[in-house]
Amino acid sequence: MKIRKKAYLTIDDSPSKNFLPKLDFLIEKEIPAIFFCIGNLLEKHPEAAIKSIQAGYPIENHSYSHPHFSDLTLGECRVEIEKTDKIIDALYRQADIKRAQKMFRFPYGDKGDMRRGLILKKGRNFDIKRHEVIQNILRDLDYNQPKYDGIHYNFMDKAKLWNDADMSWSFDVMEWATSEKKPTFGIKNLSQVLRRLDSKRPKDCRGNLWLEKRWLNSPSSEIILLHDHPETDDIFNNIIDKLKELPLDFRLP
Ligand SMILES: [Zn+2]
């Protein structure tokens, strides 16, 4: 028997040039979502972002140019965060909607601490000082994780994700990995992406998360990661339809 559970859908790398059809599809299917946006794309498609805000789909910060934060100086990290923060502020003003809470997600999940997104990795590469300095840049700008209901995964506790101001995810749809020529984790096409959504042990690029019961075999709520990529425009609606079929109650935090 499948457990019905809460799900928070987050969509990264917006707004692409094909953002609006995706927004419309989510509205039609009554699935709420948060869009983590790249600053330079917000500058290209401000009207799309304003529509999203006005439709109740939050526009949030995913850096200005989508770098690996571990490759940047601390000054550059600050600019990536602040520049996009100001762009988003201006968009909310233009939309005439109050920016209720601020959320940030690191590109590639790379928190700038030299682990490059491998959150379970320990050892000498982990620069705790850089980690904290960057977290404090976020906190100083009032970024914080929203209050989720019922997320309890050992791997998230172990990685101490709850101490941080940025927003992580518990389940990666991994549609970004779709490739016939260079498949990651053997994901070659849409049917394999969809099959993975039914999987008992979905693999994850962040490590051996399958060591605990996950996804549909766990009662934990989920933060789902999907992307707004032109390369996967043709399968976006199929993925949303499939997610809607699963025993998930979609909501905003
Ligand atoms: Zn991204």
Predicted local confidence at residue 131, as pLDDT: 96
Predicted local confidence at residue 54, as pLDDT: 98
Distance from the alpha carbon of residue 175 to the mean position of ligand 1, in angstroms:
13
Distance from the alpha carbon of residue 174 to the mean position of ligand 1, in angstroms:
12
Write the DSSP string, 79-129.
Answer: HHHHHHHHHHHHHHHHHT-----B-B--GGG--SSSSTT-TT--STT--HH
Distance from the alpha carbon of residue 108 to the mean position of ligand 1, in angstroms:
6
Distance from the alpha carbon of residue 61 to the mean position of ligand 1, in angstroms:
10
The residues facing 227 across adjacent strands are: 12
> For residues 168 and 145, what is the distance between their CA atoms, to the nearest angstrom?
9
Distance from the alpha carbon of residue 41 to the mean position of ligand 1, in angstroms:
12
Distance from the alpha carbon of residue 221 to the mean position of ligand 1, in angstroms:
22
> Helix H segments across the chain?
19-29, 39-44, 46-54, 74-95, 128-140, 154-158, 190-197, 233-245
> For residues 174 and 126, what is the distance between their CA atoms, to the nearest angstrom?
25
Q: Which two tokens stand for residue 126?
A: 């982990």
Distance from the alpha carbon of residue 127 to the mean position of ligand 1, in angstroms:
22
For the chain, residues with pLDDT lower than 70 are 1-2, 123-124
Distance from the alpha carbon of residue 54 to the mean position of ligand 1, in angstroms:
23
Structural contact between residues 10 and 169, judged by C-beta atoms closer than 8 angstroms: yes
Q: Exposed/middle/buried for 22, CB within 10 Å: 0-12, 13-18, 19+?
A: buried
Distance from the alpha carbon of residue 65 to the mean position of ligand 1, in angstroms:
10
Distance from the alpha carbon of residue 141 to the mean position of ligand 1, in angstroms:
20
- For residue 131, give its domain range: 5-250
Q: Which of 55, 20, 17, 57 is nearest to 38 (CA)?
A: 17
Distance from the alpha carbon of residue 2 to the mean position of ligand 1, in angstroms:
31
Distance from the alpha carbon of residue 20 to the mean position of ligand 1, in angstroms:
18
Predicted local confidence at residue 96, as pLDDT: 98
Number of domains within the chain: 1
Distance from the alpha carbon of residue 45 to the mean position of ligand 1, in angstroms:
17
Distance from the alpha carbon of residue 37 to the mean position of ligand 1, in angstroms:
8
Distance from the alpha carbon of residue 186 to the mean position of ligand 1, in angstroms:
21
Distance from the alpha carbon of residue 69 to the mean position of ligand 1, in angstroms:
12
Distance from the alpha carbon of residue 1 to the mean position of ligand 1, in angstroms:
34
CATH of residue 147: 3.20.20.370
Predicted local confidence at residue 2, as pLDDT: 63
pTM: 0.95
Predicted local confidence at residue 15, as pLDDT: 98
Average pLDDT, the chain: 93
Predicted local confidence at residue 102, as pLDDT: 98
Distance from the alpha carbon of residue 94 to the mean position of ligand 1, in angstroms:
25
Predicted local confidence at residue 187, as pLDDT: 86
pLDDT digits (tens, 9 = 90+) for 102-153: 999 999 999 999 988 888 777 668 899 999 999 999 999 999 999 888 999 9
